[in-house]
Amino acid sequence: MIASKDALVLLLAGGVGSRLNILVGHRAKPAVPFAGIFRIIDFSLSNVMNSGLTKVGVLTQYKPLSLMRHIGGGEAWDFTGRTRGVKILPPRTGEKESDWYKGTADALRQNIDFIQANPSEEVLILSGDHIYHMDFDAMIAFHRQKKADVTIGMMVVPKSQIHQFGAGIVDQANRIIDWEEKPKVPRTNLASMGIYVFTTRYLLETLARDRNELDFGMHILPRAIGQDHVFAYPFYGYWRDVGTIQAYWEANMDLLRPGSGIAPQEWGIRTNIAADGRPMDRPPARFLSGCTVRTSMVSAGCVIEGTVINSVLSPGVQVREGAVVRDSVVFEDSVIGRNAVVDLAICDKRARIGEGAVIGEGENREVPNRRFPKHLYTGITLIGKEAVLPDRARVGRNCIVNSRRLEIDFPSSGHLGDGETL
User: For the segment 126-159, what is each residue's pLDDT rounded down to a tens digit?
Assistant: 988 899 999 999 999 999 999 999 999 999 988 8
Mean pLDDT of 285-297: 96
Domains contained in the chain, number: 2
Domain containing 181: what range? Answer: 4-254
pLDDT of residue 273: 82
Please tell me whether residues 229 and 333 are part of one structural domain.
Answer: no
Kindly report, residue by residue over 74-124, the tens digit of the pLDDT.
899 988 877 788 888 887 655 455 556 667 777 888 888 888 988 899 999
- Map 166-187 to HEC letters: EEEEECCCCEEEEEEECCCCCC
Please tell me whether residues 94 and 237 are part of one structural domain.
Answer: yes
Q: Which helix (H) or strand (E) holds 49?
A: helix 41-50
Please tell me whether residues 337 and 193 are part of one structural domain.
Answer: no
Which of 254, 274, 306 finishes a domain?
254
The residues, any chain, with a CB within 8 Å of residue 404's CB and separated by 6 or more, are: 384, 385, 386, 387
Please tell me whether residues 336 and 188 are part of one structural domain.
Answer: no
Within a domain: residue 195?
yes
pTM, entire model: 0.92
Number of residues in the chain: 422
Share of the chain above pLDDT 70, in %: 92
pLDDT-derived band at 2, boundaries 50, 70, 90: very low
Task: Kindly tell me the burial class for residue 356, based on how many C-beta atoms sit within 10 Å of its own C-beta (0-12, 13-18, 19 or more).
Answer: middle
Please tell me whether residues 219 and 314 are part of one structural domain.
Answer: no
Which CATH number characterizes residue 331's domain? 2.160.10.10
Q: Map residue 245 onto helix, strand or coil.
A: helix
Lowest mean pLDDT among 15-29, 43-57, 192-206, 259-273: 15-29
Within a domain: residue 191?
yes
Which CATH number characterizes residue 38's domain? 3.90.550.10
Q: Which helix (H) or strand (E) holds 112?
A: helix 112-117
Please tell me whether residues 242 and 311 are part of one structural domain.
Answer: no
How far is the C-alpha of 184 from the C-alpha of 74, rounded, in Å?
Answer: 40
Amino acid of residue 319: V
For residues 379 and 399, is the Cβ–Cβ distance under 8 A? no
pLDDT of residue 255: 96
Kindly report, residue by residue over 183-214, the tens digit of the pLDDT.
788 788 888 898 999 999 999 988 887 666 66
For residues 38 and 269, is the Cβ–Cβ distance under 8 A? yes
Please tell me whether residues 55 and 189 are part of one structural domain.
Answer: yes
Within a domain: residue 266?
no
Please tell me whether residues 209 and 321 are part of one structural domain.
Answer: no
Within a domain: residue 100?
yes
E strand map for 243-360: 286-287, 292-294, 297-298, 303-304, 307-309, 312-313, 318-319, 324-326, 329-330, 335-336, 341-343, 345-347, 352-353, 358-359
Within a domain: residue 263?
no
